[in-house]
Structure 1
Amino acid sequence: MANYFRDYADLCFEAFGDRVKHWITFSDPRAHAQAWHSYNSTWRGKQRGLVGISLNCDWGEPMDISSPKDIEAAERYLQFCLGWFANPIYAGDYPQVMKDRIGKKSAEQGLDMSRLPVFSLQEKSYIKGTSDFLGLGHFTTRYITERNYPSRQGPSYHNDRDLVELVDPNWPDLGSTWPQSVPWGFRRLLHFAQTQYGNPPIYVTENGASQKLHCTQLCDEWRIQYLKGYINEMLKEPLLSHMQMVTEIVVPTVCTLCILISAVLLMLLLQSQS
């Protein structure tokens, strides 16, 4: 299927590449790297476009921010969701927590090898760096806590994570079963992706709320508030980059100037006393 997708992507690049300058391979990734390499080697030089991927992930907030186990569970939630596909692209391999957890579960199930495939060195090199931007889909947030009881499921993605997802009943009810409106989680996910993957260009590729139940006519006030809240949180995120710049550049510079000024004043004081 990966080869078929590469052929399909090549057909699209050839037919539309003179007009289309931003390409997104997948919302549910399979053969992304082959399409990126094909564009990079054959089409980029003359078409000057960009190829990225689109990944969906909700934000996982620790249920108890003072609990190391809940903090680890929330991190695991994100790595099993976004990191599963983003980490190979930006770091060359699956997240370490996935390799550790699934390897351990596989051994407990009597398997000779992990259920998580292992990349060869050649595959790691081939996949790493195959994204000109990160497309990010996001809808809602979950509180995450460590699961402290055995699962009744057999081997599964959900069982491998060993965590429990919860929602806050005080979050605004949109009138449908999903999603809950939690704008602050969007900003935290953007910041996570920014810091986790080396500050890549990020395009928000999916966001919105499902149709309100039993709504038979135009009644979009709830959706307007949802989008307004999420867009406002998205607009706040660039401030974090400026804050980082202030921390890394301005603060050391000011400290250096303060030291120099103090040294000059001390010299003047010593001269006046002598």
Structure 2
Amino acid sequence: MTSYFSDYANLCFEAFGDRVKHWITFSDPQAHAQAWHLYNSTWRSKQQGLVGISLNCNWGEPVDISNPKDIEAAERYLQFCLGWFANPIYAGDYPQVMKDYIGRKSAEQGLDMSRLPVFSLQEKSYIKGTSDFLGLGHFTTRYITEKKYSSRQGPSYQNDRDLVELADPNWPDLGSKWLYSVPWGFRRLLNFAQTQYGDPPIYVTENGVSQKLHCIQLCDEWRIQYLKGYINEMLKEPLLSHMQMVTEIVVPTVCTLCILIAAVLLMLLLRRQS
């Protein structure tokens, strides 16, 4: 399938690349790296475009932020969701926690090898770095806690994670059973992606809310509030870079000036005394 998709991508690059400068190989992926390499080797120098991927992920917040088990479960939730595809692209391999948990579950099920595929060194090298930007889809948040009981169901993505997802009943209900408005989770996911993957350019590729009521007139106040809340949280994001500038540039500069001023004052004081 990857070779077929590569042929399709090549046709798109050839037909539309003179006008399209931002390409997303997949929204909710599977094969990606081959299309990136194709563009990089054949079309980038001519078309000067960018190729990325779009990954969807909710934010996972620990139920108890003082409980290490809940913190680990929330981290595991994010790695099984966003890290599953982002980590190979930015680090060359699946997240270690996925390899550990799925490997252990596979052994418990009597398998000789993990159900999670193993990348060869050549595959790791081929996949790593194949994204000019990270597309990020996000809609809602879940509280996460460790699962304290064994599941009776067979092998599955959900069971491999060993965690429980919860929703706060006080979060605004938006019509779909899975969708709640939790704007602060959006900013936390942006922070996570920024720090986890080396501060890549991030494009928000999916966000929005479903129809809550059947209306024949305009009656989507809930949608206005949802978008307003999420956009406001996204707009706060550049504060991180400003804070980084403050800590890396402004603070050392101010300290240096204070030292110089103190030295000048000390010299003037010594001259007066002499």
Q: Which residue of 2 aligns with 1:105?
A: 105
Q: Is the 8 A contact 1:53 1:131 kept in 2?
A: yes
User: Greater CA deviation, 166-175 or 137-146?
Assistant: 166-175
Is the 1:2–1:30 Cα contact (8 Å) retained in structure 2? no
Q: Which runs of 5+ in 2 are unaligned?
A: none
Aligned pair count reads: 274
CA contact (8 A) 2:54 2:137 kept: yes
Partner of 2:3: 3
Partner of 1:36: 36
Measured in 2, the distance between the counterparts of 1:148 and 1:269 equals 70
Look up the equivalent residue of 1:9 and give its one-letter code.
A
Distance 1:128 1:115 in 2: 22
Does structure 2 retain, via aligned residues, the 8 Å contact 1:54–1:135?
A: yes
Report % sequence identity.
90
Provide the residue aligned with 2:224 in structure 1.
224
User: 2:61 corresponds to which residue?
Assistant: 61
1:1-274 aligned at under 5 Å gives the runs: 1-215=1-215, 217-270=217-270, 272-273=272-273
- Deviation of 1:245 after TM superposition, in Å, equals 1.6
Equivalent AA in structure 2 for residue 66 of structure 1: S
- 1:260 Cα deviation after fit: 3.6
Contact 1:178 1:210 in 2 (8 A): no
User: 2:24 and 2:49 mapped to 1: Cα distance?
Assistant: 11
Instruction: Report deviation, 1:147.
Output: 1.1
Q: Distance in 2 between matches of 1:91 and 1:163?
A: 25
Residue type of the partner of 1:220?
Answer: D
Task: Give a deviation string over 1:129-186, Cα, whole Å, max 9, x none.
Answer: 1001110000000011111111122211111111111111111122332310011111
In the aligned structure 2, how far is the partner of 1:56 from the partner of 1:129? Answer: 19
Deviation per CA, 1:171-202, whole angstroms, max 9, x where unpaired? Answer: 11223323100111111111111111111111
The CA distance in 2 between the partners of 1:8 and 1:15, in whole Å, is: 11
Query: Does structure 1 retain, via aligned residues, the 8 Å contact 2:175–2:210?
Result: no
Structure 2 counterpart of 1:135, one-letter code: G
SS in structure 2 of the partner of residue 26 of structure 1? strand
TM-score, with structure 1 as normaliser: 0.95
Distance 1:178 1:124 in 2: 35
What is the rounded CA distance, in whole Å, between the counterparts of 1:61 and 1:229 in structure 2?
18
TM-score (norm. length: structure 2): 0.95
Residue 85 of structure 1 aligns to a residue whose secondary structure is: helix
On the 8 A contact 2:144/2:166 being kept in 1, the answer is yes
Deviates more, 1:164-173 or 1:206-215: 206-215
